[in-house]
């Protein structure tokens, strides 16, 4: 993900097979989603194992900024952590502390976890985790320059659905334009020497976001891709000239 630009995708189903296919396909990174995903944290180790040996980085979005969960996910071998709803410098600093060992942070240390090959590899050789702070409210946009200035935060990652929801439900005296908010986040990240990222649901939107200065971009999710593919099959099926006789077990020819 440390390249100037990189492409990722969202994995919400929790399947190691899908994680492996995404890695074999060549994504720079995938986001394993514990906030809105369909599986529990118990599914993470197998998804991370499925990507081992590939160039694809595994970033895990935790559902809440709990230090014990962040530490456990990193012990399992995640390359990075995304935390939703980072609205303040204090919350960004708490993320950094949770993800780093003392003296920089408060993460508990063990030599025998998967992140260190169960004790077969020196912990000193383990790269620092990538830390992605999600900007999902107008308050976060307003604080984005300060959040980007927190040492250890690598990416300001806009959650478009949450940010748009927040903007729609603001008082009339406290409104802002979504595209202007995106530009402000990109500018804040650039000024601090950090990256700006976001999720796009439509591949046609990708050039526009890259032109805006987003460099860490996720496109679509496994769940949405499956949904859209299934819906397309059924639309085509419905357009065919075929006998209108629904299948019912036990009613076929003897």
Which residues are annotated as catalytic?
A: 36
Torsion angle (degrees, nearest 10) of CA 150, 144, 154, 53: 140
Locate 77 and state its tokens. Answer: 């071998």
Contact 81, 142 (CB under 8 A): no
Cβ neighbours around 92 below 10 Å, total: 26
- Kindly state the helix (H) or strand (E) to which residue 178 belongs, with its residue range: helix 178-191
Residue for token digits 């307003």? Answer: 142
How far apart, in whole angstroms, are the C-alpha atoms of residue 228 and residue 232? 6
């Amino acid at each position: 993900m440390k390249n100037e630009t990189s492409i990722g995708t969202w994995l919400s189903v929790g399947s190691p097979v899908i994680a492996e296919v995404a890695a074999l396909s060549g994504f720079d990174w995938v986001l394993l989603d514990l906030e809105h995903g369909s599986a529990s944290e118990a599914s993470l180790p197998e998804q991370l194992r499925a990507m081992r040996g590939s160039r694809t980085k595994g970033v895990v979005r935790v559902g809440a900024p709990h230090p014990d969960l962040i530490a456990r996910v990193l012990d399992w071998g995640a390359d990075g952590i995304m935390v939703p709803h980072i609205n303040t410098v204090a919350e960004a600093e708490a993320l950094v502390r949770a993800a780093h060992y003392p003296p920089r942070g408060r993460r508990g240390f063990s030599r025998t976890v998967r992140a260190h090959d169960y004790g077969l590899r020196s912990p000193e050789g383990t790269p620092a985790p990538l830390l992605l702070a999600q900007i999902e409210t107008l308050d976060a946009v307003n604080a984005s320059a300060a959040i980007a200035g927190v040492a250890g935060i690598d990416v300001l990652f806009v959650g478009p659905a949450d940010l748009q929801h927040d903007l729609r439900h603001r008082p009339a005296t406290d409104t802002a334009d979504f595209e202007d908010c995106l530009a402000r986040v990109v500018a804040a990240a650039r000024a601090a020497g950090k990256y700006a990222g976001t999720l796009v649901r439509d591949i046609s939107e990708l050039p526009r976001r890259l032109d805006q200065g987003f460099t860490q971009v996720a496109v679509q999710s496994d769940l949405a891709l499956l949904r859209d593919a299934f819906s397309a099959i059924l639309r085509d099926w419905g357009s065919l000239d075929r006998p209108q006789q629904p299948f019912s077990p036990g009613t076929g020819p003897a």
